[in-house]
Amino acid sequence: MAVMANSIGITVLGCGVVGGGVVNILTEQRELLRSRTGLTFDVLHIVDKNPDVAKRFPSIAFTTDASAAIADPKVQIVVELIGGTGVAGKFVEQALTAGKHVVTANKSLLATRGSEFFSLARKHDASIGFEASCGGGIPIINAILHGLSANRNDAIVGILNGTCNFILSQMTRHGWSYAQALAEAQKAGFAEADPTLDVSGRDTAQKLAILGGLAFNARIAESDIHLEGIDTLQDTDIKLAGELGYVGERVKDKLSLRVHPTLVHHDDVLADVSGSFNAVSLYGHAVGHTLYYGRGAGSMPAASAVVADIVNVGLGVIPLAFKQLQVFPDTAAKAAVLPFEELQSRYYLRLTAKDVPGVLADVTAALGKNGISLSAVLQRESNESKTVPVVITTHLAREGSVRKALAEIDALPTVTPKTVCLRIIDQPKEFSNGG
Ligand code: HSE
């Protein structure tokens, strides 16, 4: 559907945390948007399963009948903010089939059915805006599609889950418990309806599938991404470790794609990203290192990104980019993924050893035998139970070799319980390609 009219009709599906923010901006900033763009953006229908929503926006037509609100011929843009892959998928399909442009924040839907929806949109001369699906209010998709179009992107590294970052920040900086921090993230509206999506790292993996796909011009499935969440971290390591990071990088002709808790050096700007903030580093062959920072979750930051998409559909920018750019999941080739064992990284290992002669020699022998070179070893005094915590950091090593060495170390009768293994990122050195 061409968006040529000066008045853009909109249906908002789902008027919760983000949907409410979108309707607020579109109504309160109507004049600002009109003076800036020459267009008026009119919310013609709000659809929600909760009729109480109608009381919040009495001047806008409310209905529980999504199909009718989508089909209204005056509606050009359908904004899907229901979330999840159930009814949201059904309504997006309905809207695209009717030739309506769709704006969505739904990363689960895009990560699972993106290819199908993009191809459906193409068939019906519609388009999809999804800036709010990754990094909340940070215009990261716009940066990749437009600002960095001169670059071959070699890596994206960052923090993409506000809930995890908030939990870790509150625990490390303010001494909160995990449960208290998670409850507060839910109250503040950062967390997904099912917060296990956040803390398991899946939400971040879905975002990496979307961003990595655009940046590397490849179709990435969630299953291509190695996943470790913050839900298995222990307090001791949280104090030392920091953030839930994600990394996508080119290694020769393959992509290394991973989401896991990561140690970053305190000099690294990522170490200062706290609360619900997100940060994304992109490395382009021409520009080098660029960094994008902002609120990654919450009503108004996400609404800011949704409204930007609505405006860009109205201006014709998104429909045009969608037609021309060959980076969307329905046109890109499937990603060639580097097997996780081939990953080269630095590692943090924390083991608990019995305070007996020769134990450290056995541990370092297992590491040496597997070609792993140590960068630092820290051993504290033994406690009453006659065990010593030992923290080892390594130089760059192969993931497969580290796993083999850890299996040998954990089989030693003098080492118990299982060794904790986290990865360390030294950026931008690691991705700068000498530029
Ligand atoms: N649950 C997500 C987060 C919301 O915490 O980052 C934004 O995608």
Q: Which of 207, 239, 386, 429 is catalytic?
A: 207
Asked if the model's pLDDT at residue 240 lies above 90, the reply is no
Segment 244-276, tens digit of pLDDT: 455 667 777 899 999 998 888 878 888 889 999
Split at pLDDT 50, 70, 90, the class of 79 is: very high
Phi, then psi, of 313 in degrees rounded to 5: -70, -45
What does the pLDDT look like over 183-221, one tens digit per residue?
999 998 889 889 999 999 999 999 999 999 999 999 999
- CA of 197, closest atom in ligand 1: 1
Please tell me the distance between residue 395's alpha carbon and the centre of ligand 1 in angstroms: 33
Instruction: Name the residue of 140, 198, 202, 207 whose CB sits within 8 Å of the most ligand 1 atoms, as the mutation to test its pocket.
Output: 198
Mean pLDDT, the chain, rounded, equals 92
For range 335-340, the mean pLDDT: 96
Lowest mean pLDDT among 2-16, 71-85, 389-403, 404-418: 2-16
Per residue in 342-376, pLDDT tens?
999 999 999 999 988 999 999 999 999 999 999 99
- Name the β-bridge partners of 345: 397
Among protein residues, the one whose CA lies closest to atom 4 of ligand 1: 297
Instruction: Name the residue of 130, 138, 160, 161 whose CB sits within 8 Å of the most ligand 1 atoms, as the mutation to test its pocket.
Output: 161
Cα(46)–Cα(234) distance, integer angstroms: 44
240 alpha carbon – ligand 1 mean position (Å): 23
Measured in Å, residue 384 CA sits from the centre of ligand 1 at 43
Q: Whose CA is nearest to atom 7 of ligand 1?
A: 297
Greater model confidence, 387 or 406: 406
If DSSP states are collapsed to H, E and C, what string results for the chain? CCCCCCEEEEEEECCCHHHHHHHHHHHHCHHHHHHHHCCEEEEEEEECCCCCHHHHCCCCCEECCHHHHHHCCCCCEEEECCCCCCHHHHHHHHHHHCCCEEEECCHHHHHHHHHHHHHHHHHCCCCEECHHHCCCCCCHHHHHHHHCCCCCEEEEEEECCHHHHHHHHHHHHHCCCHHHHHHHHHHCCCCCCCCHHHHCCHHHHHHHHHHHHHHHCEECCHHHCEECCCCCCCHHHHHHHEEEEEEEEEECCEEEEEEEEEEECCCCHHHHCCCCEEEEEEEECCCEEEEEEEECCCHHHHHHHHHHHHHHHHCCHHHHHHHHCCCCCCCCEECCECCHHHCEEEEEEEEEEECCCCHHHHHHHHHHHCCCCEEEEEECCCCCCCEEEEEEEECCEEHHHHHHHHHHHHCCCCECCCCEEEEEECCCHHHCCCC
- Distance in angstroms (rounded) separating the CA atoms of residues 403 and 345: 12
pLDDT value for 239? 64
Instruction: Say whether 207 is catalytic.
Output: yes
pTM value is 0.93
| CA atoms of 395 and 386, how far apart (whole Å) | 29
Give the number of the atom of ligand 1 that is nearest the alpha carbon of residue 105. 8
Query: Does the pLDDT of residue 3 top 70, yes or no?
Result: no
Ligand 1 binding pocket, CB closer than 6 Å? 136, 161-163, 190-192, 198, 203, 296-297
Ligand 1 center–CA 137 separation, angstroms: 11
Share of the chain above pLDDT 90, in %: 79
CA-based angle 252:255:260, to the nearest 5?
130
| Residue (of 88, 97, 85) closest to 126 by Cα position | 97
pLDDT one-digit tens code per residue, 139-169: 999 999 999 999 999 999 999 999 999 998 8
Give me the pLDDT at residue 429, please: 65
pLDDT of 232 strictly over 90: no
Query: 215 C-alpha vs ligand 1 centroid, how far in Å?
Result: 20
Task: Ligand 1, residue 190: give the atom nearest the CA.
Answer: 5
